[in-house]
Amino acid sequence: MIFMNKKDRASISIMKIIGVSLIIIFILGITVMASDINVRTVEITLANGYQMTVITTKTNVEEILEDNNIILEEDEKVSPNLEENINESNQILITDKSVQEVQIAKISESGIETTLDEILKSYSPIIEKIVVEQEIIPFETITKDAAQGATDTKNKVIQQGQDGLKEITYKIKYQNDEEIERTVISENILKEPVDRIVQVQKNIVTTSRGTDRTATTGIKVGETKIFKVTAYCSCAKCCGKTNGITASGTKATAGRTIATSAQFSFGTKLDIGGYTYVVEDRGGAIQGNRIDIYMNSHAEALAWGVKYLPVTVVK
């Protein structure tokens, strides 16, 4: 058995005290160093709107981006700038240059004094959506001339027109819930339009007693009969179309245009209740002793109602 003298035991005790002291000093040093390092959480918003949160001890914007493998494209801007430190908001925003310039231009035009950082704080990322919509394909009117040079002509509808339908796929960009850009991706025709075919042909007028124009009801020039008189306008409910073009090819005009049955040829002037009108239109429901007077609006047509008035063929 080995025995230590008092001197040896004292030396070992001193060495233990020194070792423990060094460990305590090392731990305190680490604590002081950790307190000097400011660890922060930074939110980074990319140009496509994606947001990511990173933890860093850096304050320089460029260093933070490099640590997270984020490289700016040529058409992108960052706020704050690369050489700047992040501000108290702990946010880094990457946007397209064009978007920033538009935002700055809009605010400059309004006369509001502000900074780029303030603009970017209120900036909302652009959202893209794929939208499918259906649109009407209007039919076209084709006119065929079969009058053979005749000056007295009338129009006959050979084929009624029908609108077509197409489906369009758009890529739409929204910012602050407002559409800022629309791009057509594809179009698909669901229904082809059918052309309206109108034939211009010679007008055959049935006459009796020389040049007096007569009708199937026997009404002659200067003769007066009572007709059922209604009204219509150029809306789809009244006409099935909205272009205001009459069966004779003229533009329907209030105070002039009337629709009658085929007993009166186009161009015939009729005195209705003391006012003179011109026969320029036809109607599927206008048969026999009935006349439809053109009005500027559907409300006026409804207000007219149904009247029974004296009708005279004007010379």
Beta-carbon count within 10 A of 279 CB: 24
Q: Which CATH class name applies to 127-198?
A: mainly beta
Please list the pLDDT of the chain residue by residue as tens digits (315 residues). Answer: 444 555 566 666 677 777 777 777 766 665 545 445 678 899 999 888 888 999 888 889 999 999 998 888 888 888 888 899 988 888 999 888 765 555 555 555 555 555 555 555 555 678 889 999 999 999 999 888 877 777 778 888 888 888 999 999 999 998 888 889 999 999 999 999 999 888 888 776 543 333 334 344 457 787 888 899 999 998 888 887 888 899 899 999 999 999 999 888 999 999 998 899 999 999 878 888 899 999 999 999 899 999 999 999 986
Range(s) within the chain of domains with CATH label 2.40.40.10: 205-313
At the second CATH level, the architecture of 40-121 is Roll (3.10)
Which residues share a beta bridge with 251?
245
Structure token digits, residue 140: 């076209």
Please provide the CATH number assigned to the domain covering 205-313: 2.40.40.10
Let me know: does 65 contact 78? Beta carbons within 8 Å: yes
| Amino acid occupying residue 194 | V
pTM: 0.34
Element (H or E) spanning 67, and its range? Answer: helix 61-67
Range(s) within the chain of domains with CATH label 3.10.20: 40-121
In the chain, DSSP finds a helix count (H) and a strand count (E) of: 6, 16
